[in-house]
Amino acid sequence: MNSRRLGDLLVEAVGLGCMNLSHAYGRPPEEARAEALLHEAVELGMTWFDTAALYGFGANERLVGRVLRPHRDRVVLCSKGGMTGQPIGPGGTLQRVIDGRPESLQRDCEESLRRLGTDVIDLYYLHRWDKRLPIEDSVGALARLVEQGKVRMIGLSEVSGVTLRRAHAVHPIAALQSEYSLWSRDSERGALAACADLGVAFVAFSPLGRGFLAGRVQDPESLDAGDLRRSMPRFQPEAWASNRLILQRLKEVASELGCSLAQLALAWLLNRGHHVLAIPGTTQPPHLRDNWSARCVTLDPDVQVRLEGLMAGIAGERYAAATFAEIDSDRG
């Protein structure tokens, strides 16, 4: 068992990010397929699952809650509030809204509890810092959820090391969740070290570079019209022409080591510190099994350095400028 601390819990180093079963990467899988994948994850031995109110505007929490309810005593449920779908305009169309006000977080948590069908959420994150108010106000609201018994632990998502330290002074933060992988390393400028100093778990989302590091994106032009990667700079034609050459070199390393591309990327990530955990997501059972097996792959230090050298030339930012404006990143 490759176990690591997630707050006061011991979990496997690899959990399941459930977002793309309902959200973000084009048309989600049929409900039966999504349910089957979650069942297989439990059978494999996965012990923690990550969802959010935003994903599918509540659909993902309902899916996760329904499937995992019979296993609730042996799984860790993680969800997020403070960024949800809210009705906007006369037609009531749901749009993504960042709202970290205390009364909003109270509402978000209670709605998540209902959708998940549970009395308590094991780890509840502030999905995004609402910069209209101090981080301390939102963290104070999350702390009250702990006092009410609705949440066991609290976390933050996409904040800098400086903001994490401010938040931790208000209430212990169990985990910081941010994008981190071989091609997205902003967190090494502050957040990763802050987590180590404070005893906070660092949960890496998109550890496979939105599928790039697993070789699962052959051509961005073939992605569904609603796939969020179509708006990301690294998947634009000029950047992609350069990045696909790097991918070929990564394939050569994986072939030398006798592992898959996904296992190579996840093994590198899990070597960044014992406080680092990963939540790769997938809709495909073979990919689920492949990601899960990465816990058993070890890399020599020289291979890690070699991989970092290959990735130094990655083209394009991980987000567009408008998205960077919404988050509190360690990006220089």
CATH of the domain at 37: 3.20.20.100
User: Does the structure show a pLDDT above 60 at 1?
Assistant: no
- Residue 8 CB: number of other CB atoms within 10 A? 10
Residue 332: per-residue pLDDT:
55
Q: Model confidence at 326, in pLDDT bands (50, 70, 90)? A: very high
User: Does the structure show a pLDDT above 60 at 66?
Assistant: yes
Give the predicted TM-score (pTM) of the model. 0.96
Parallel, antiparallel or unpaired: strands 48-50 and 76-81: parallel
Q: Model confidence at 314, in pLDDT bands (50, 70, 90)? A: very high
Mean pLDDT, the chain, rounded, equals 95
User: Does the structure show a pLDDT above 60 at 11?
Assistant: yes
Exposure of 257 by Cβ count < 10 A (0-12 exposed, 13-18 middle, 19+ buried)?
middle
Q: Which residues pair with 151 in a beta bridge?
A: 121
Whether 125 is a known active-site residue: answer no
Question: What sign has the CA pseudo-torsion 21, 265, 222, 327?
Answer: positive
For the segment 274-283, the average pLDDT, to the nearest whole number, is 97
Q: Which residues pair with 153 in a beta bridge?
A: 123
Contact 273, 202 (CB under 8 A): yes
pLDDT tens digit sequence for 110-159? 999 999 999 999 999 999 999 999 999 999 999 999 999 999 999 999 99
Domain count, the chain: 1
- Packed helices 102-116 and 59-68: angle between N→C axes, nearest 10 degrees: 40
Contact 280, 17 (CB under 8 A): yes
Would you say residue 202 lies in a domain?
yes
Could you tell me which residues come within 8 angstroms of residue 325 by beta carbon, excluding any fewer than 6 positions away? none
Would you say residue 188 lies in a domain?
yes
Please state, in angstroms and rounded to a whole number, the distance separating the CA atoms of residues 151 and 133: 22
| Least confident interval from 77-81, 93-97, 189-193 | 93-97
* 6 Cα distance to chain centroid: 14
Using DSSP, state whether 87 is helix, strand or coil.
Answer: strand
Q: Determine which helix (DSSP H) or strand (DSSP E) holds 41, and give its type and residue range.
A: helix 31-44
User: Does the structure show a pLDDT above 80 at 91?
Assistant: no
User: Does the structure show a pLDDT above 60 at 19?
Assistant: yes
Would you say residue 83 lies in a domain?
yes
User: Does the structure show a pLDDT above 60 at 233?
Assistant: yes
For the segment 69-92, the average pLDDT, to the nearest whole number, is 92
Would you say residue 166 lies in a domain?
yes
Percentage with pLDDT > 90 across the chain: 92
Given 55, 124, 125, 180, which residue is catalytic?
55
Task: Please name which of 324, 227, 327, 207 lies closest in space to residue 20, comparing C-alpha atoms.
Answer: 227
Q: Which domain holds residue 212?
A: 3-326
Q: Model confidence at 2, in pLDDT bands (50, 70, 90)? A: confident
Q: Determine which helix (DSSP H) or strand (DSSP E) holds 291, and give its type and residue range.
A: helix 285-293
Q: Looking at mean pLDDT, say which of 21-30, 109-118, 316-325 comes out highest.
A: 109-118
Would you say residue 332 lies in a domain?
no
Contact 187, 178 (CB under 8 A): yes
Parallel, antiparallel or unpaired: strands 76-81 and 121-126: parallel
Please state, in angstroms and rounded to a whole number, the distance separating the CA atoms of residues 231 and 216: 18
